[in-house]
Amino acid sequence: MSNFYSDIRRESNVVGGIPIAVRHIESVLRMSEAYARMHLRDYVRSDDIDFAIDMLLESFLQSQKMTVARQLSKKLAKYKYQKNDINTLLFHILNKEAQDRAVFEKAERGIEVTDKINVEININQFKTMAKDFGAQEIDNFLSSSNFAKEFRLEGDKIKTVKEI
């Protein structure tokens, strides 16, 4: 956020736009907290902050003259909120969970050498994890080639083999 603030303040001064104040950054914090509450979370995640920055940036650009807004928009494009491809995100979540479970299983068994470990994840647990990241539907992901690379679905379990 500090990088965003310094960049937007510097760029608005360079192109002669309306200046930005610390009050704007305070607004970003309040908007990110509100966005997290809207999603029934007690904590603010980075995507909440990204969303709030994008909202502030859009409203700030709309308050500028058209030529100034165009210049600022180009220079501050890196702060635009871009949602990740949901299948890539779900794959990362599932892969991380499988890796964590494999490490736990290795520690529980007391395995010292590198070994392949079968991992099972309940589909309902994965759905809950996916919802925490804003993914409501996982059916398309479960039938995707991205999923089939490392995982298979057997009943209500997601299975894979991890080398630890």
pLDDT digits (tens, 9 = 90+) for 29-86: 999 999 999 988 899 988 888 888 888 888 877 777 887 777 777 777 777 765 556 7
Q: Give yes or no: residues 62 and 95 share one domain.
A: no
Predicted pLDDT of residue 74: 76
Query: Which residue range(s) make up the domain with 31?
Result: 2-79
Claim to verify: residue 94 and residue 63 sit in the same structural domain: no
Please give the structure tokens belonging to residue 42: 């007690």
**Confidence (pLDDT) at 81:** 60
SS3 of residue 158 by DSSP: strand
pTM: 0.50
Domains contained in the chain, number: 2
Burial of 82 (0-12, 13-18, 19+ CB in 10 A): exposed
By CB neighbour count within 10 A (0-12 exposed, 13-18 middle, 19+ buried), where does 55 fall? middle
**Cα 49 to Cα 61: distance, rounded to the nearest angstrom:** 18
